[in-house]
Structure 1
Amino acid sequence: MSRRAFVRWLLAIGAVLVGLSAWFSLLVKKKFIPEEQAIAAPVATSEPPQQATSAPSEEPLPLGPLMSFFILSDLHVTSGDSLPNKKLRLALDDVTQFDGPVDAIMLTGDLTDTGTEVDYKALRAIMNNYKLPPIHGNMGNHDYYTIWINKANSWDQDNVPNGKSDAVSREQFKKFMGYTSIYNDFTTNGHSILLLSQEAYVQEKPEVGEGAWYSDEQLAWFKGRLGNLYKPGRPLFVMTHQPLPPVGTDGATHQLIRAIQFRETLKPYKNVFVFCGHRHQDFQNGTPHYIQETFHYFHNASVGRTLNRAYQQTAQDKAQGIYVQVFADKVVVRGREFSNRTFIEEANWTVPLEKAHA
């Protein structure tokens, strides 16, 4: 064999060995390395690999309600008419057997029909039959009606004030509620409710009629408590009895009288919910019950005397109120028919809360 032929023979043998080595390596990879891992093997690049990033997520909101309460307005309990008393029992039957949390009950005015000791006694007799959550209330115009009632417990307009006074009415309300003042606030589960009360009636201030007059002292207290209790991002609740007049005006009889100052006091705050009674309007008669101003404004119906648009008590069996639930990002307000223990489709509002600015 020539030298050139020997070199060619060596090169051929080398090529065969390299091929055999590659084939054996492939067999080993197929046997011991999963196919997916082999496919996903990284390819070398000149740039360093980048770290995976994800967008920051907000803390998840609590699912359940943070606070829940009922608002019962215009009970009109009296010794002289059994129907409002029966309707209050229906409401309290529902509230105490309600399939959901109830942290408190608001009584927003006209607890009684005449504000007399006899009426308060009838109201206490009904409530004593129930194990109730904490109860808070304010005064309505009917809670001042004791001046119209004589010693025989009869309506006596000719002899007003029948030996009574507006001061007597205030003291009877405070005694019943266990208050030292007719306007109050309370906080439960981190959420606050303020209750404003009509401070005088026609015996002291004939010009107010059936309207709600608040003194300088009460309005100063209201402004101060708002500043102390308000928490950005959380709702704050205000209870009145009489409704507000149109924006830009002060009220008169059957309205909140110093309405301009009331609205100005609320203007700096977000997520404020104001509830009033007095109108007795049926949630199902087509009248508006929610108005959005700089705050959220709701008109309640009545437990004792639910009325139609003409202010007639045509639906003798109806007894209505409001159920409020506070969530981390919203407030849900729902009308409740106590006579059949159902929610009212026409009265169902979900109000998103404005978030606190960082």
Structure 2
Amino acid sequence: MSRRAFIRWLVAIGGILIGISAWFSWLVKKKFMTETVTVAAHSADTPEPSASQEPPQPSEEPLPPGPLMSFFILSDLHVTIGDPLTMTKLRQALDDVTHFDGPVDAIMLTGDLTDTGTDRDYKELRGILNAYKLPPVHANMGNHDYYTIWINKANQWDQDAVPNGKSDAISREQFKKFFGYSQIYNDFTANGHSIVLLSQETYVQEKPEVGEGAWYSDEQMAWFKARVKQLYKPGRPLFVMTHQPLPPVGTDGKTHQLMRAIEFRDTLAPYKNVLVFCGHRHQDFQNGTPHYIQETFHYFHNASVGRTLNRAYQQEARNKAQGIYVQVFADKVTVRGREFSNRTWIEEANWTVPLEKVKV
């Protein structure tokens, strides 16, 4: 090879090497720039937490929508053929309940179901209830459900002939037979939420000193304590139904009141989210009388379906028929007064009870 040809060969080889080097340099630069951009983009979107930053806390589980349980409380029906308006009002209430725009899992009848406790009054009550397709119906006894002792064979009030061949035991058996109960105090659970119903256990034929008060036996009180303990679930409400109201705190009741009131209150004191409902007073939700009191439990006085009264205990508004609608939600219980005669809510009777959460 001549010297000139050798030089040309070296120049060609050098050019090829320079080209390869430039190409390789371009590849390395491209890879580096791509990784830089990718890392930068990642840093901008999801910055790494520093050692001093707290990790994000998970949000609370959302509460389930809608009510978990719903029921009506109808008190003081006083159904009797002697006062046809009481029967008309109960039909109005049941018409509203069966056409209600909302869930109804049960109906509680809290005492004074009839006006005299006679076979005739119970027959009228049965005829009205049977005319409707109703959810489960449960009840307790009021003082008027023992009144058959005042009524003679001619279905007339006969105080001089008391007990008119009747007895308090007959009244209890009538009530149990009507509802298919084995005892006059009971409980009911729907959708995991429980209702305890206590019943007046005797009247003046057996215990004249009771008057119109709610007397509970040792057996009923022991049952009450055991059922509350068994049915109570932390974080959920527990409902208790009585007929007669409680006397002032720290006292036992007399006539027209729950008599073993100190023991009743002591039984409920350890538990949270307990709601107690009573009847007997017949007080109109719109007459300014307090219908809600907060003690260790939440205490509500119902009005009356059959005979709603003013503050002077007069039936001034004869057409009114009132009751309560209760709804249980995951975090609260709502209690609303209902006017059945025109199917409207009562603004003066509208309460929300927040449920206390379980402390872990």
1:221 partner amino acid: W
What do the CA deviations read for 1:242-285 (whole angstroms, capped 9, x no partner)? 00000000000000001001000111111000000000000000
2-structure distance, mates of 1:138, 1:256: 14
Per-residue deviation at 1:53? 3.1
What do the CA deviations read for 1:102-153 (whole angstroms, capped 9, x no partner)? 0000000000000000000000011111000000000000000000000001
* Match runs of 1:217-256 below 5 Å: 217-256=219-258
Match of residue 12 from structure 1? none
Residue 273 (structure 1) aligned with residue 275 (structure 2): yes
Match of residue 70 from structure 1? 72
Q: Secondary structure at the match of 1:238?
A: strand
1-structure distance, mates of 2:193, 2:88: 32
1-structure distance, mates of 2:55, 2:123: 68
Match of residue 161 from structure 1? 163
2-structure distance, mates of 1:48, 1:297: 51
1:75 partner amino acid: L
**What are structure 2's unaligned runs of at least 5 residues?**
1-25
**What are structure 1's unaligned runs of at least 5 residues?**
1-23
2:105 partner amino acid: D
**Structure 1 residue aligned with 2:209, among 207, 210, 215?**
207
2-structure distance, mates of 1:340, 1:41: 65
Match of residue 15 from structure 1? none
1:146 partner amino acid: T
2-structure distance, mates of 1:103, 1:114: 29
* Match runs of 1:301-340 below 5 Å: 301-340=303-342
1:220 partner amino acid: A
2-structure distance, mates of 1:71, 1:48: 56
Structure 1 segments, 4+ long, off by >4 Å, are 36-43, 47-52
Q: Secondary structure at the match of 2:138?
A: strand
What do the CA deviations read for 1:199-232 (whole angstroms, capped 9, x no partner)? 0000000001000000000000000001111111
**Structure 2 residue aligned with 1:258, among 254, 257, 260?**
260
1-structure distance, mates of 2:192, 2:241: 17
1-structure distance, mates of 2:219, 2:135: 30
Change (3 A) 1:52 1:295: closer
Change (3 A) 1:40 1:132: same
Per-residue deviation at 1:56? 2.1
Q: Secondary structure at the match of 1:201?
A: coil
2-structure distance, mates of 1:117, 1:53: 71
2-structure distance, mates of 1:153, 1:222: 36
Q: Secondary structure at the match of 2:121?
A: helix
Per-residue deviation at 1:357? 1.7
Residue 173 (structure 1) aligned with residue 205 (structure 2): no
Give the TM-score normalised by structure 1. Answer: 0.88
Aligned residue pairs total: 331
Give the TM-score normalised by structure 2. Answer: 0.87
Q: Secondary structure at the match of 1:76?
A: coil
Per-residue deviation at 1:48? 9.2
2-structure distance, mates of 1:163, 1:169: 12
Match of residue 10 from structure 1? none
**Structure 1 residue aligned with 2:58, among 56, 64, 68?**
56
**Structure 2 residue aligned with 1:132, among 122, 134, 147?**
134
Match of residue 88 from structure 1? 90
Change (3 A) 1:38 1:101: same
1:248 partner amino acid: G
Match of residue 183 from structure 1? 185
1-structure distance, mates of 2:50, 2:337: 59
Change (3 A) 1:167 1:38: closer
Match of residue 19 from structure 2? none
1:224 partner amino acid: A
2-structure distance, mates of 1:317, 1:76: 14
Per-residue deviation at 1:38? 9.5
Q: Secondary structure at the match of 2:239?
A: strand
1-structure distance, mates of 2:341, 2:170: 34
Residue 342 (structure 1) aligned with residue 344 (structure 2): yes
Q: Secondary structure at the match of 1:127?
A: helix
Identity over aligned pairs, percent: 81
2-structure distance, mates of 1:49, 1:66: 44
Change (3 A) 1:160 1:58: same
2:259 partner amino acid: I
Change (3 A) 1:280 1:49: closer
Match of residue 14 from structure 1? none
Change (3 A) 1:106 1:54: same
Per-residue deviation at 1:59? 1.5
Q: Secondary structure at the match of 2:123?
A: helix
Match of residue 11 from structure 1? none
What do the CA deviations read for 1:48-78 (whole angstroms, capped 9, x no partner)? 9769931122211111100000000000000
1-structure distance, mates of 2:324, 2:292: 12
* Match runs of 1:13-24 below 5 Å: none
2:303 partner amino acid: A
Residue 196 (structure 1) aligned with residue 198 (structure 2): yes
2-structure distance, mates of 1:41, 1:106: 62
2-structure distance, mates of 1:81, 1:137: 22
Change (3 A) 1:55 1:283: same
2-structure distance, mates of 1:65, 1:193: 16
